[in-house]
Amino acid sequence: MKILITGAAGQLGSTLVSFLFGAHEVIPLTRAELDITNPNRVKETILMHRPDVIIHTAAYTDVDMSEKHADTAFHINAFGTRNIAEAAELVGAKLVYISSDYVFDGMKKEPYIESDCPSPINIYGSTKLLGEKFVELYCSKHFVVRTAWLYGMGQRSFVNTIYKLARSQNEISVVTDCYGSPTYVMDLAAFITELLSKENYGIYHVVNEGVCSRFELAQAIVQEMGFDHVQVRPILSHQFEQSALRPANSALACAAIRMNGLTPLRDWRSALQAYMGNLKQSDEGGLFSGH
């Protein structure tokens, strides 16, 4: 398959590139190579390559900055996605659009399933939801992959932030009243690889199995590091200043994966353990010292 990837220098984009390389013809496009907000460039590029599949990972992902720069966030996440969806339809490509748990308001007590009604409470979530609607409207062969709390090697994420803090501090304060589904980007990339050959289009929740709070996740990270001296102190969200509201519960249940006979991701604790093992090994050279 010929697979075009947008946002190829990002956390998920770069992981997908290394995952798919060799098995497929991969066209990785960074922001410098394809700015998705330019409709003519998007159309020209996709008409030139005529990919079988487009994996659209590019996004404005700073949740707090999206509150201040709402126009930019909508321009990239919603209208940039519309450009990609229209161009995908022109060449008959399958489109995998990466969306977010932040399309939900967090009021549900259980993990959200694909048929639950989205109702975002911050700008970022609204932009991702509008992106979903454009994908559904403009591209017939689409997968909307909602994922959450991503982490992986070398990029900014909650897991990597806690890892760095735990190396320099004896106490870290983390919120207890925010629940979600941490997801290892390698596991997400493996799932997307499986999805590409399918034709069961629609919305998929794709996260590592299980639910935890940010506090429980931080505790697990410190435990995996073997840093018994680091204390994770529980605090509440209102004690932690952030520009954007976060859903109190944005855990996702992967109902569509099961209903379509696809392979669910492993549980979040095993995935974290695998990642932390890799991280400890590669960080001997100070991989995260600059972040």
Give least dist CB 71 to ligand NAP, A: 13
Which amino acid is residue 270, in one-letter code? S
Identify the active-site residue in 102, 124, 138, 179.
Answer: 124
Give least dist CB 246 to ligand NAP, A: 12
Give least dist CB 11 to ligand NAP, A: 3
The owner of tokens 């519960």 is 249
d(CA 199, CA 93): 12
Q: Which residues in 210-247 are b (16+ Cβ under 10 Å) and which e? A: bbbbbbbbbbbbbbbbeeeebebebeeeeeeeeebbbb
Residue closer to ligand NAP, measured from CB, 46 or 148: 148
- In this structure, are strands 2-6 and 171-175 parallel, antiparallel, or unpaired? unpaired
Residue pair 230/173 in contact by the 8 Å Cβ criterion:
no
The per-residue DSSP string of 12-26 comes to HHHHHHHHHBTTBEE
Annotation says 138 is catalytic:
no
The residues binding ligand NAP (CB under 6 A) are 6-7, 9-13, 31, 34-37, 57-61, 76, 80, 98, 100, 128, 147-150, 155
Give least dist CB 92 to ligand NAP, A: 22
Neighbours of 64 (CB within 10 A): 15
Spatial neighbors of 272 by CB under 8 A, at least 6 apart, are 159, 182, 184, 217, 220, 221, 224
- The residues annotated as belonging to the active site are 124
